[in-house]
Amino acid sequence: MPCSRRFAAVLMLAFSLLSSTHTFGDEQPKVREPFFGVRVVDQTGRGVPLVELKTTNEASYWTDSDGWAAIAEPGLMGQEAYFHVASPGYEFNADGFGFRGVRLRVEPGATATIKLPRQNIAERVVRLTGEGIFRDSQLLGLPLPEGMKNLNSGVTGQDSVQVVPYQGKLFWLWGDTNIASYPLGNFQTTCATSPLPVDGKPSPDHGIQFEYLKQENGQVRHMAPLDGPGPVWLFGLFAITDADGTESLYSHFTRHKSLSEVVEHGVMKFDDEAGIFKKVANFDLQEQWRGPQGNAFVVDDADGVKRVYFAHPLAHTRVAADEQSILDPHAYESLVFDSGEKNYVWKRDVPPTKQRDEQKLLRSGAIPSDVARYQLIDVASDKPVVMHGSSIAWNEYRQKWTMIGVQAGDQDAPSFLGEVWYAEAESPTGPWNRAIKIATHPKYTYYNPRQHPFFATDNGRVIYFEGTYTHTFSATKTPTPRYDYNQLLYRLDLSEAKLKPAQK
């Protein structure tokens, strides 16, 4: 049946869009046969990790952390092939049929570059953990970044990062860890160290050279061994320095019977000689708000006291930064709305007033709107944004406290725990008001985000954060190969004009 003129016009439009979405540069590298190399870049010219290239017969290729995909399909060699292109926060305009992709001529030893527009304000930089971070680059015979390898200490997946400067290095820890040799990995915390940056070097832009703390057999060490069954998770990691200059490293621990059932919690301290965390205090299970939580940060308060604040998800608990206070559950203070004073005050005898608590108080008229501290509003829609987890840090460039947070599950959001927001405040406790979305992960999760102030460049103008990218708790039934259950690093330029509506 012959095409109508209208259909023919749509067809021509579609082919026009197809032919304009990729480029072949003048200095494309020669790659190893039999592979055809495709590199996806964004407006910065950097390679984009986590881009899916999918053929019309459902064969998928995922770009590595330098944006390369190695394609070796005998049936496609010497042919033109269409590739659907998809990536969280990056997207082509649809063609006349609604397809978003490119048509490439597949040739062994040849390469093509795809320029993919970015909708995210934050730029995805690199996958930090797991196997095959630069897999496709290696398959294509391209050089890997210095010191990087495609399997480090057998680690294939890691959950929920914590990191602090400690004894001249960065000290990292993660929760449950997958290993290559068996489905059951390490469920008692994994740790590593890496060089502490000086003047922006080494940069994390091409990955981090983790030195994992290992057992004698070469496997990652169980860093938080406890008697009793169940995984052990450490959060609220922080370091303090005593009057004599001695550094000490502390963390909250929980031992779990299940995801939601905690059977033990308290404080652990890192034993430098033994190379593991050891329990130094047990706290009451009925008061789990007492103790380090979430993402910790140290503040020199105006009253002259150095304190550790805990973003869980916002900074409504704190403790004095000395060992006696850290090990005393009754030394922890919570930020509470006092109905008598009609204001927020620090108390030691009741749990904190959190964001959802404050929303209920506002609806009932119990709290004045000008006293509210946690009324985050999306600058684009004026809708409330409720935080599930966040990381708070002082920023020299903005002269503000900055928050990177993941939104709690919202039925109108593209994902359950994958929408990432930026906000600023005058103090670490807020008030937090205007928020702007900086990254999205549709139908996936990206939880427990962590800012990394020690990686910031240009006096804090460019900041970095990472989080756990996983299908857990999401609508996705097929995990992304190699990327799933690992840490993705982003960077954010705070001079970006799109951030202005959220900057005070």
Q: Which residues pair with 347 in a beta bridge?
A: 334
pLDDT of residue 25: 45
CA 144 to chain centre: 23
Distance CA 437, CA 412 (A): 14
Total number of residues shown for the chain:
504
Asked if 372 and 364 touch (Cβ cutoff 8 Å), the reply is: no
- Is 325 a residue whose pLDDT tops 50? yes
pLDDT tens figures, 30-89? 899 999 999 999 999 999 999 999 999 999 999 999 999 999 999 999 999 999 999 999
φ, ψ (nearest 5 deg) of residue 42: -105, -165
How, if at all, do strands 111-115 and 155-158 pair?
unpaired
- Is 408 a residue whose pLDDT tops 90? yes
| CB-neighbour burial class of residue 230 (10 A; exposed 0-12, middle 13-18, buried 19+) | middle
Distance CA 163, CA 251 (A): 11
- Is 443 a residue whose pLDDT tops 80? yes
| CA-CA-CA-CA torsion sign (363, 368, 374, 377) | positive
Mean residue pLDDT across the chain: 93
| CB-neighbour burial class of residue 412 (10 A; exposed 0-12, middle 13-18, buried 19+) | exposed
CA 62 to chain centre: 19
pLDDT of residue 27: 61
Range name among 8-17, 353-362, 425-434 with the lowest pLDDT average:
8-17
The ranges of the chain annotated as CATH 2.60.40.1120 are: 5-120
Mean pLDDT (whole number) for 190-215: 96
pLDDT tens figures, 16-44? 444 334 444 446 788 999 999 999 999 99
- Is 451 a residue whose pLDDT tops 90? yes
Q: Which residue has the tokens 């914590």?
A: 162
CATH code of domain 5-120: 2.60.40.1120
- Is 181 a residue whose pLDDT tops 50? yes
Task: Report the candidate in 405, 404, 407 with the shortest Cα–Cα distance to residue 416.
Answer: 407
Q: How confident is the model at residue 13 (pLDDT cuts 50, 70, 90)?
A: very low
Q: How confident is the model at residue 411 (pLDDT cuts 50, 70, 90)?
A: confident
Name the token pair of 217: 């057999």
End-to-end CA distance of the chain: 62
- Is 263 a residue whose pLDDT tops 60? yes
Mean pLDDT (whole number) for 379-402: 97
- The verdict on whether omega for the bond into residue 313 sits within 30 degrees of 0, i.e. cis, is yes
Task: Report the candidate in 126, 133, 122 with the shortest Cα–Cα distance to residue 204.
Answer: 126
pLDDT of residue 260: 81
What would you report as the CA-atom Rg of the chain, rounded to the nearest whole angstrom?
Answer: 24
Name the token pair of 13: 């439009």
Q: How far is CA 444 from CA 27, 252, 451, 480, 483, in A?
A: 36, 28, 20, 10, 12
Distance CA 339, CA 365 (A): 11
Task: Report the candidate in 221, 222, 225 with the shortest Cα–Cα distance to residue 213.
Answer: 221
Q: Could you say which DSSP state residue 134 is in? A: T
CA 11 to chain centre: 41
Q: How far is CA 171 from CA 149, 163, 175, 447, in A?
A: 20, 5, 14, 20
Mean pLDDT (whole number) for 259-270: 94
Q: Which residues pair with 191 in a beta bridge?
A: 173
| CB-neighbour burial class of residue 100 (10 A; exposed 0-12, middle 13-18, buried 19+) | middle
- Is 481 a residue whose pLDDT tops 90? yes
pLDDT of residue 207: 97
Task: Report the candidate in 375, 283, 261, 269 with the shortest Cα–Cα distance to residue 328.
Answer: 283
The percent helix, strand, coil of the chain (3-state, each to 5) is: 10, 40, 50
Name the token pair of 493: 């330029």
pLDDT tens figures, 106-141? 999 999 999 999 999 999 999 999 999 999 999 999
Q: Strands across the sheet with 79-86, in order?
A: 60-62, 52-54, 79-86, 101-106
Q: Which residue has the tokens 């502390």?
A: 250
Name the token pair of 370: 């000008």
- Percent of the residues in the chain that have a pLDDT greater than 90, as a whole number: 89
In sequence order, what are the residues at sequence separation of 6 or more whose Cβ sits closer than 8 angstroms to the Cβ of residue 118? 42, 43, 48, 89, 90
pLDDT of residue 360: 96
φ, ψ (nearest 5 deg) of residue 436: -135, 135
Distance CA 161, CA 480 (A): 20
In sequence order, what are the residues at sequence separation of 6 or more whose Cβ sits closer than 8 angstroms to the Cβ of residue 221? 186, 190, 191, 212, 213, 214, 215, 275, 276
Asked if 307 and 296 touch (Cβ cutoff 8 Å), the reply is: no
φ, ψ (nearest 5 deg) of residue 316: -120, 15
Mean pLDDT (whole number) for 468-484: 94
Run of H or E residues at 315: strand 315-320
Name the token pair of 177: 């860890």
- Percent of the residues in the chain that have a pLDDT greater than 70, as a whole number: 95
| DSSP class per residue in 203-255 | -STT----EE-B-TTSSBP-SS--SSSS-EEEEEEEEEE-TTS-EEEEEEEEE
